[in-house]
Structure 1
Amino acid sequence: MIDAFYNAASALSAYGQRQSASAHNVANVNTNEFKSQRVDLAEKPTGGVTPTGVTTDTSPGAIRPSEFPEDKVVFSNDAMALAGHVESSNTDLAREMVNSTVNSYSFSANTGVVRTQDDMVGTILDIVS
């Protein structure tokens, strides 16, 4: 019974971190050269989940004209620079909205586990007393 609480608590923490990374990506969608990130999760040997690290998406963002003519983009191979253009963020808003929904449902499910655990312990205490 206690294992269910600890498993749900670890999931709440892990999905909270995933949601934080997703919110950070959305907040920086208009930041030039921003690279989106994601929090990777793994199952613990004892049950539950834990964040295993943060992965940065290194794919380039779209190239667009700059508002400032002195800006330029230097591609990763340094072979070409486009004066008057900048690389935008590589954040995919559609993917971030899906991730946000998954995180929300996961958070709700694990909150339900904690709530049920609390109800069960209360019932046991009522029976014993």
Structure 2
Amino acid sequence: MIDGFGTPLSALDAFGTSMAVTANNVANMNTDEFRASDVRLQTGPAGQDGREQGVEVAEIRQSSTHGPVRLDLRRILHEDGSVSVETSAIEGSNTDVANEMVDMLTDQRAFEANAAVVRARDEMTGILVDRFV
């Protein structure tokens, strides 16, 4: 890989993963018993020059907090034509939409910043190639 591209490209990959996890959380916010997940990032391994480290996903951790509990009422029709009602408690999703939106905006801005670095490096490389070719 051309020197200088490793760090922002690894960050694009890591923030892309974080956005996908956040999108999954939001998509399942109305799914009963769904547990939201969170992405933990860490500094990546050193590059060939020993300096460039980048960013990588350390882990994707599922939340252990409980969602809100709601009562579910079910009508049961018996063979004799009578109807009874059965109640049960169902745990809802523990997704906090406000936190997910903040995470999504943070990931989006970080992704945009690293994409700008890649574009700038690409333009600089193109200018150098044009001058020396």
In 1, Cα distance between the equivalents of 2:75 and 2:44?
Answer: 51
State the one-letter code of the partner of 1:12. L
Q: Identity over aligned residues, as a percent?
A: 37
TM-score of the two chains, using structure 1 as the length reference: 0.84
State the one-letter code of the partner of 2:94. N
For this pair of structures, how many residues does the alignment match? 117
Counterpart of 1:56 (choices 55, 62, 65) is 62
What residue ranges of structure 1 are gaps of 5+ in the alignment? 71-82
Q: Secondary structure at the match of 2:67?
A: coil
Shift of 1:68: 3.5
What residue ranges of structure 2 are gaps of 5+ in the alignment? 47-52, 77-86
- The aligned residue for residue 116 of structure 1 is 120
- Are residues 53 and 32 of structure 1, via their aligned partners in 2, closer, same or farther at CA, if it must alter by over 3 Å? same
In 1, Cα distance between the equivalents of 2:22 and 2:123?
Answer: 32
Q: Does 1:125 align with 2:129?
A: yes
In 2, Cα distance between the equivalents of 1:27 and 1:115?
Answer: 31
Contact residue 69 and residue 84 of structure 1 kept, 8 A: no
- The aligned residue for residue 66 of structure 1 is 72
Shift of 1:36: 0.4
TM-score of the two chains, using structure 2 as the length reference: 0.82
Contact residue 7 and residue 49 of structure 1 kept, 8 A: yes
Aligned-residue Cα RMSD (Å) equals 1.8
Structure 1 stretches of at least 4 aligned residues deviating more than 4 Å after TM superposition: none
Contact residue 62 and residue 87 of structure 1 kept, 8 A: yes
In 1, Cα distance between the equivalents of 2:131 and 2:102?
Answer: 44
